[in-house]
Structure 1
Amino acid sequence: MNNIYKAIIFLIFFVGTSQQLKAQQTVVKPSVTYASNPETYRLAGLIASGVEGYEDYVLTGISGLVIGQTIEIPGTAITDAVKRYWKHGLFSDVAITIDSIIGENIYLQVHLKTRPRVSSINYIGLKKNEMNDMEKKLGLLKGGQITPNMIARAKKIAKKYFDDKGYKDADIDIRQCEDVTNKNQVILDIEIDKKQKKRIRQIIIDGDKQLGDKKIKGTFLTKGAFKKTHEAGKLANILKSKKYTPERWAEDKKNLINKYNEYGFRDATIIRDSIWNADDKHVSIYIKVDEGKKYYIRNITWVGNTVYSTDYLSRLLNINKGDVYNQKYLDKRLREDEDAVGNAYWNNGYMFYNLQPTEVNIVGDSIDLEMRIFEGQQAHVNHVRINGNDRIYENVVRREIRTKPGDLFSKEALQRSVRELASMGHFDPEAIEPDIRPDYENGTVDINWNLKQKSNDQVEFSLGWGQTGLLGRVGLKLNNFSMANLFNKNRDRRGILPVGDGEVLSLGLQTNARYYQSYNAQYSTNWLGGKRPVQFSVGIYFSKQTNVASNYYNRGYMQNYYNYQYGYGSYGNYYNNYENYLDPNSYVKLFGANVGWGKRLSWPDDYFTLSLMISYQRYMLKNWSYFIMSNGSANNLNLNISLNRTSTDNQLFPRRGSEFTTSLTITPPWSSWDGKDYRNLANDPNSPNYSREQQEKYKWVEYHKWKFKARMFTPLTNGTKCFVLMTRVELGLLGNYNKYKKSPFETYYVGGDGMSGYTANYPTETIGLRGYENGSLTPRGQEGYAYDRFTLELRYPFLLGNTTVYGLGFVEAGNAWSSVKDFNPFDMKRSAGVGVRIYLPMIGLIGFDWAYGFDKVLGENGFEKGGSKFHFVLGQEF
């Protein structure tokens, strides 16, 4: 403001000089003083100086003065002009002087000095990630002008940032240094001394006579009132946050009152609280509460309800006379629970419904509640708009949405639509949020679905090295395929590939040259014909695996192999050895095809799906010693009946919901009508007719296979990033119609990571059990005809969205038996470990686990513990 007064001094005439100046024709640079009466002039000229890079009319325009206007000197016009320059924020010095006066005309000059620009910014005392956060939050840019307000604002933002991180005593110093190499530019040094992060040493609660410390602070197994502030150094808080910030404490003071309200103490208040430094790393907190009286419910009356009877609403509320006045439970029964009072209205079109519980009478420790309901009119869905989608056809998206134009509004249908859109896999599940726009006058509601696309097609190309040489894998999975576009040239293709209908086409090739080859193709759609949720799938596959000659394991070969592995010898020598040790007279070939059909059910609810699949496999073996059957061909014609219920909320990281599948796979009971004596058929391997009898015995394989799988997801904390407990139960049995004709195929290969190398489309089913070697629970010669697996897995997400990353810790147990009669669910092999899962859009799921097996299984050296094992998962959930 001193500069304003300077300008005014220059513009005020000395006492008694005004008449003399007017009598002269021209006065240049006149002297002025405060001690004069205002004189009126016509502004004839205005120029600005001291600033480069701006047009003159831009600078003079900021003043608000206009050529030709009448101004008083001294007067408010000049004062206001100076204020405008200061308010603009670009200038560090402003002065307006009189250049000359000619008669009644006055010429003014504006003297400006711009604020310096920032040439560089140095962050001192921060890590790289903290520097990146500071750059985004502070808004200080290289090349931008710097003002005192910007400096003050930056300090405030930085202080809050480090307070939130737990650095309560952080010092922030922002210094400007002149840049001698650049005119009118400065260097900013932002120095931050974070000091020690503050954790909570002790929380002292005074006045908690009714609830006590355990209910307020919680224990290892129970939740307390505080969600974000807990005492350090206590075992009960090992998984809880101990960091102190003012915001966290302010939030937890509200949570404390809510906790008291939950136990009926509606008058509970906080009298005072204080925080002090217990030491360099800790603060202690003192809080004094007045608990007040504990209240109970006496009478509940309903007012304004016409749609539902009072008795029905009372049953939904489930609060009775004499119950503790629990305001948290009351709110859940009115709004939050699936069967809450509010949902009865919202799911029946009453979007404008409102209910206010009102305390109408308090007598002693008893409260009368009046439930005042405004029902309003039923609202119908008007417009349903889909935004953000240009990859999949709109009708494909709309058929998954449960809110159709003309339907009554339903909160349940809205929530179900969110789940169905997330389950499609074409959109970021974390970004699906309906934009609801009610129209109270017309009784309608518009729903806008603002979607964020993600690519869920997967391309795989990988190379690996094993004891039999190089293994290559190539795969393509299109999750937005369109069979119609493949044959219809005139239809919109939306790119090179025929996509748009949300169908799935997968093609795969895996080969190890002569040793192993596998080819597969699969097509499926969840909407056969595009109008009804009818599933259809068709697939075909072929694989061949050649055995390795017995001298593969001799000492000389193994020496060559190790020489290659550790850099001795040459690749050519190894490759020649590899070629020589294949046994072309020992192999297994598998050809298979399947056709599937499925239908979404409406009972017991529409989460259920019934599926049928007819499959045919032909096994061709020659001198193959890994199954009961070693030579000849066998056929497997079977029908699979599966009942599935899936209600999870997210494909990549489910937080709640469940998956249940029960299935039965059956073949015709060939032995019941073919008239063969299987008791005396193919039992003696030394018999000259053994091979022929094997082919006769297993020409048509028969069995009945029962499986049950269940997974449940339970969120243990609130929020998007929360701890989730996954509980899994699996049971499998492979039975037979004739005890002398047990199936040599479709047995269970249990143990390890569930990815047993070359077992894609293999005649056995692989079941993982971490902490043990692959197949170690069903070693060779002890095929698995029954198994079980139980898992508890605690998950936490580090990154959610198109790329999803989460960590996990687990305990697991299971076993396998070579006879269904020996099945014992309490005889289990146990393990525990940790792992991580990474979902990449173009690759799929990748997982790494470390596990320790606690029990003994049969291995190469007899019975030994599973011990420490690392497992790798690719493309499938373990």
Structure 2
Amino acid sequence: MRKLKFFLILLLFSVGVQAQVTESTNFSIYYSSPKNYTIAGINVLGIRYLDTDVLIQISGLAVGDEIIVPGDQITTAIKKLWGHQMFSDVKIEASKIEGDKIWLDIYLQERPKLADVNFYGVSKGEKDDITEKVLLLKGSQVTDNQLNNAERIIKNIFLEKGFLNTDVNIVQRDDTASVNSVILDIYVDKKEKVKIDQIVFHGVTEVKEKMLRRAMKKTNEKRLKNFFLTKKFNEEKYEEDKQNVVNKYNEKGYRDATIVKDSISTVDEDLIRLDIWLDEGDKYYFGDIQWVGNTIYPGEYLDAYLGVKQGDVFDQKLLNKRLTEDEDAVSNLYLDNGYLFFDLNPVEARVENDTIDFEMRIREGNQATINKVLIEGNTKTHEHVARRELRTLPGDLFSKSRIIRSVRELSQLGHFDPEAINPNVIPHPENGTVDIKYELQEKANDQIELSGGWGANMFVGTVGLRFSNFSVRNIPNKEAWRPLPTGDGQTLSLRAQTSGKFYQSYSLSFVEPWFGGKKPNSFSFSFSHSRVNYSENNYYGSNYSPYGSAYGGYPGYGGYGGYGGGYYGGSSYYGGGYPGYYGGYPTYDPGDYYQYNDDNTSEDDQVQVTTRLALGYGYRLRWPDDFFTVYHELSLEHYKLQNMSGYYYFLSDDDGSGGGGFNNLSFKTAFGRNSVDNPLYSRSGSEFSVSLQFTPPFSLFNDVDYGDPDLSSEEKYKWIEYHKWNMKGAWFTPLTQDRNLVLHTKFEYGFLGYYDKDRRSPFERFRVGGSGMSGYNLYGSDIISLRGYKDYSLSRQTGSNMYNKLTMELRYPVTLKPSATIYVLGFLEAGNAWDDFERYNPFELKRSAGAGVRIFLPMFGLMGIDWGYGFDAVNGDTSVGKSQFHFVIGQQF
């Protein structure tokens, strides 16, 4: 057609120019009489934005070329110009002919440019998704192919979301504000989302259908049991799930199982039915397994390592896992011993009846040694900080497990994005060596805390700085102050908190993880000082305060009463308390506690000053394995109390000031193991620790009768004594193939013991319940979280001597980017606190459940919020549980 069109144009042209052409050049053009011409000139018309010289080159025509008119050269030129899809019209005409010379005009109509795109029938989020994938760029030329692709991509976007019947209509209209420009109006009618009404299997006799339906992870029927599963139909996921059905048969020994055919039929406008016909085939079993080519490990050893026995049901998935995928797979046995070039090929040697014999063909190759170990991407952290954590050293044999361990250790540093650590293995088979390049990505992990909060009728402001990659040795180096010397992996923390006259707290800590620089022996130093003046806040003297000097507690429960004749005697919140637990304190008249009631009639302030200094030293063990650590800490804590008899049971105004100076000199040893893969979002591994903190048994060194009621509080507790045991364990188990859904289980146990029954420590107790956020240490106690209950509500007002806690969490990440780690969680929790072994009951736990979110921002650390519901009453009181919200800052549960 284009040839005919071109010829007709030339025919008309010849009539129009005949008067201008001499008789000697007069001619008639017919198909039957083509003529040779030499191109004397080429002119391109109709173009505003494109280079005419480039267009002439695209056409393939050039001045001086000989062409036949009519002929294939003109047709080919037109096809080339059309092929670039930049023009809506292409014509070539002869503007002049003289003898055997011809001048050509190429007429081109440029395609319109895109001025704007409007979407109709979609949400803003869907519009953004379409815009990102379709890439309709303003100013680009609009082509038919572009529009067809846009329609196809938009339909696929909604197809993935279950809208199988989506209509897309793209309308072009001229842009009146711009020449040769169009506006695209894209109308999208998603119609109803299509869900799966029923999945029908045909030919299934040997495997339960519910097992096959579970194998189809993304293709589920619209049933109540699948409430939390997707029911929408996705064709791509459906193809994957059909293969999952076949794989499930393979796991059961049906190696030849196939899907013969399947069909999709419409049940309703938004419902479809899937029919799947299967040929199950026969059930097979493992037969004899022979190892060929193995010289390092004998066949019997490899058989035991493989764990597959003759007569076991054939399972292709299990075989693959035991050969190459599991952490203790056969291939890793070689890869951990330097055989990087090892190759294993399982071959079915014989299939007889229902038995399959295998021949495991091994090519061991030579052991590979590590040549170079490179580190890239550490822009702030000094290389030696990363290198000292590596378990792969030049000259060592290649080991896959050591590479995995090195990645784990780099993640634990906290200086690099754990998701971006990439160990790049570069083999050199020509000389039997391998280079390992650890590609790192720095992340900000210094933290600043600027916060303020209102509670207990006061405003509390906090300023905190945590430098997690500090460098002490670079302090004299002025050039290293940007703004502080960094790069050596040391931790320096400074924190100040105040509410004015009522409360001030200051702390400083420093940790060197490689003390001396040669071994991973940590040294730590910490100092803290706090002062609380309860007289400056009426909240702590009111009956509405859980801390009131009268222990008024929560209104309606009669307060905590006095201590005469028992720990919480009288009509206490605890229903009469626990009479005789401390053998009573007859000198402590309950009336003494009420002298600091609502109006606080004391002339002197009620003040608690706490000062603590601690030195710590930790090191790794090599046995039982190098995940084990030991940590020792020596600490001295001094409590100075004034008029605090209303807050501590052991104080009496008879002492003169309701206080005194009390000292806590203790030594702590902690033995633990930590194999967690990622400190921010842990997917695998475990944590376990046992610790003992104890003071010297001062009561054994003197002849003081601490049961003497005339002994003053300061004399009795000037040097407190105790032994304190803690045991904790946590496991992280990935539940999905992508390892994102994680089950976190945890247990905790704590016990505070004594050397002398008449001298039990009033400090270092456990206060259980709530968020675990102490704010400040009012009573020298360990704060234990238990979500779903009010703070400290499961223990006595001054703490308990024992506690148990069990936790189960499901976690799923929202984002794991270096700029923010965010994950959601759901939890079940149970715990309780007791005063001694006589009342201890590990089955008497207070239960709760709930959900929450955690957000880790490098600048501010960990933050989160939980909603919990406490199911059980505490000593008959149901108000301490039920619906509770808890805020988390800077800690993990």
- Structure 1 length normalisation: TM-score? 0.90
2:561 aligned partner: none
Alignment pair present for 1:711 and 2:730: yes
Task: Tell me, yes or no, if structure 1 residue 766 matches structure 2 residue 792.
Answer: no
**Does the CA-based 8 Å contact 1:50-1:113 persist in structure 2?**
yes
Amino acid across the alignment from 2:750: G
Name 1:380's counterpart in structure 2: 369
Q: Distance in 2 between matches of 1:594 and 1:554?
A: 33
Task: Please report how far the alpha carbon of residue 433 of structure 1 lies from its aligned counterpart in structure 2 after TM superposition.
Answer: 2.7
Rounded to whole Å, the distance in 1 between the matches of 2:831 and 2:648 is: 23
- Residue 14 of structure 1 contacts residue 33 of structure 1 at CA under 8 Å; is this kept in 2? no
Structure 2 partner of 1:207: 203
Report whether the alignment pairs 1:125 with 2:153: no
Does residue 874 of structure 1 match 2:889? yes
Alignment correspondent of 1:696: 715
Query: Residue 733 of structure 1 contacts residue 820 of structure 1 at CA under 8 Å; is this kept in 2?
Result: no
In the other structure, the counterpart of 1:607 is 627
Does the 8 Å CA contact 1:784/1:817 hold for their aligned counterparts?
yes
Whole-angstrom CA distance in 1 between matches of 2:681 and 2:435: 30
Distance 1:243 1:131 in 2: 21
Q: In the alignment, what sits opposite 1:797? A: 813
Deviation at 1:181, TM superposition (A): 2.3
For residue 200 of structure 1, report the CA deviation from its aligned partner.
1.6
1:749 to 767, 771, 778: 767
Is 2:97 the counterpart of 1:101? Answer: yes
Change in 2 beyond 3 A, CA 1:334/1:229: same
Residues 62 and 529 from structure 1, CA distance in 2 versus in 1: closer, same or farther, beyond 3 angstroms?
farther
- 1:520-539 map, 5 Å: 520-539=507-526
Match status 1:788 vs 2:785: no
1-structure distance, mates of 2:493, 2:62: 75
Structure 2 matches for 1:130-141, cutoff 5 A? Answer: 130-141=126-137
> For residue 626 of structure 1, what is the aligned residue in structure 2?
647
Gaps of 5+ in 1: 218-223, 559-577
Matched, 1:588 2:575: no
Whole-Å separation in 2 of the counterparts to 1:277 and 1:6: 49
Q: SS where residue 592 of structure 1 aligns?
A: strand
Compared with structure 1, are the counterparts of its residues 850 and 351 closer, same or farther at alpha carbon in structure 2 (3 Å cutoff)? same
The Cα shift of 1:106 comes to: 2.6
Q: In the alignment, which of 707, 732, 752 is matched to residue 750 of structure 2?
A: 732
Could you say what the CA RMSD is over the residues aligned between the two structures, in angstroms?
Answer: 2.8
Kindly report which structure 2 residues correspond to 1:454-493, keeping only aligned pairs within 5 A, or say none. Answer: 454-489=443-478, 493=480
1:534 CA drift (Å): 1.5
Residue of 570, 576, 598 corresponding to 2:618: 598
Deviation at 1:587, TM superposition (A): 1.1
Candidates 650, 670, 681, aligned match of 2:678: 650
Summarize the Cα distance change of 1:556–1:287 in structure 2 as closer, same or farther, 3 Å threshold: closer
SS at the partner of 1:321?
coil
Helix, strand or coil for the counterpart of 2:264?
strand
Contact 1:547 1:584 (8 Å CA) reproduced: no
Contact 1:548 1:583 (8 Å CA) reproduced: no
Structure-to-structure mapping, 1:148-297, within 5 angstroms: 148-217=144-213, 224-235=214-225, 237-297=226-286
Q: Percent identity?
A: 46
* Alpha-carbon distance between aligned partners in 1 of 2:756 and 2:176, rounded to the nearest angstrom: 96
Letter in 1 for 2:810: L
* Alpha carbons 1:271, 1:288 under 8 Å: kept: yes
Q: Which amino acid aligns with 1:306?
A: T
Q: Does the aligned pair in 1 maintain the 2:502–2:537 contact within 8 Å?
A: no
Q: Match of 2:36?
A: 39
Of 309-318 and 863-872, the range deviating more from structure 2? 863-872
> 1:388 & 1:402 partners in 2: Cα distance?
19
TM-score by length of 2: 0.89
Aligned-pair distance for 1:873?
0.8
Shift, 1:658, TM fit: 1.0
Aligned-residue offset at 1:6: 2.9
**What is the CA–CA distance in structure 2 between the aligned matches of 1:557 and 1:647, rounded to whole Å?**
46
Structure 1 residue 114: Cα displacement: 0.5
| Change in CA separation of 1:602 and 1:805 when aligned onto 2, cut-off 3 Å | same
Distance 2:147 2:600 in 1: 77
**What amino acid sits opposite 2:269 in the alignment?**
D
Ranges in structure 2 where 5+ consecutive residues have no aligned partner: 546-597, 652-658
Residue type of the alignment partner of 1:627: Y
Distance 2:537 2:156 in 1: 71
2:490 to 497, 503, 524: 503
Q: Which amino acid aligns with 1:678?
A: Y
Distance 1:448 1:809, change over 3 A: same
1:651-674 residue CA offsets vs partner (Å, 9 max, x unmatched): 221111111111111111111113
**What whole-Å deviation, never above 9, does each CA across 1:396-450 have from its counterpart, x for those lacking one?**
1222232333322211112112222222222222222323332332323333333
CA distance in 2, matches of 1:696, 1:853: 42
For 2:828, the equivalent position in structure 1 comes to 811
What is the distance in 2 between the residues matched to 1:553 and 1:588?
13
2:679 partner amino acid: Q
Q: Which amino acid aligns with 1:866?
A: G
Cα distance in 1 for residues equivalent to 2:334 and 2:123 = 53
Deviation of 1:372 (Å): 0.8
TM-aligned CA distance change 1:581 to 1:503, over 3 Å? farther
Among residues 55, 58, 70, which one is paired with 2:54 in the alignment? 58
Residue matched to 1:671: 699
CA apart distance, 1:506? 0.9
Offset at residue 31 of structure 1 (A):
6.7
Q: Distance in 1 between matches of 2:599 and 2:406?
A: 57
Name the CA distance, whole Å, in 1 between partners of 2:671 and 2:665.
20
1:514 to 498, 501, 511: 501
Residue 340 of structure 2 is aligned to residue 351 of structure 1 = yes
Q: State how far apart, in whole Å, the 1-side matches of 2:794 and 2:106 are.
A: 91
Query: Using the alignment, how far apart are the partners of 1:324 and 1:361 within structure 2?
Result: 16
Structure 2 SS opposite 1:486: coil
Give me the whole-angstrom Cα distance separating, in 1, the residues matched to 2:539 and 2:172: 75
Residues 4 and 384 of structure 1, relative CA distance in 2, 3 Å threshold: farther
Q: 1:671-702: CA deviations, max 9, x gaps?
A: 1113322121xx4xxx6xx6xx2112212121
Query: How many pairs does the alignment contain?
Result: 832
Change (3 A) 1:68 1:249: same
Between 1:734-743 and 1:48-57, the stretch displaced more is 48-57
2:126, 2:604 → 1: CA distance?
62
Which of 821, 825, 828 is the equivalent residue of 2:842?
825
Q: Does 1:6 align with 2:25?
A: no
Give the partner amino acid of 1:703: Y
Higher mean alpha-carbon deviation, 158-167 vs 581-590, is at 581-590
| Residue 554 (structure 2) aligns with | none
Measured after TM superposition, the shift of residue 473 of structure 1 is 0.4
Deviations 1:448-472 (A, max 9, x none): 3333322111111011112342110
Cα displacement string for residues 271-297 of structure 1 (whole angstroms, at most 9, x for unaligned residues)? 111112222332211101111110111
Amino acid in the other structure paired with 2:488 = D
Contact 1:547 1:583 (8 Å CA) reproduced:
no
Structure 1: distance between partners of 2:780 and 2:541: 28
Deviation at 1:622, TM superposition (A): 0.9
Describe the shift of the 1:393–1:498 C-alpha distance in structure 2 as closer, same or farther (beyond 3 A).
same
Alignment partner of 1:437 is 2:446: no
C-alpha displacement of 1:554: 8.2
- The answer (yes or no) to whether the contact 2:34–2:71 under 8 Å persists in 1 is no
SS in 1 for 2:79: helix
Distance 1:592 1:865, change over 3 A: closer
**What is the CA–CA distance in structure 2 between the aligned matches of 1:319 and 1:557, rounded to whole Å?**
68
Distance 2:431 2:82 in 1: 52
Moved more, 614-623 or 404-413: 404-413
Distance 1:209 1:385 in 2: 57
Aligned residue number for residue 220 of structure 1: none
Q: Residues of 1 paired with 2:542 and 2:480: CA distance?
A: 59
2:584 aligned partner: none
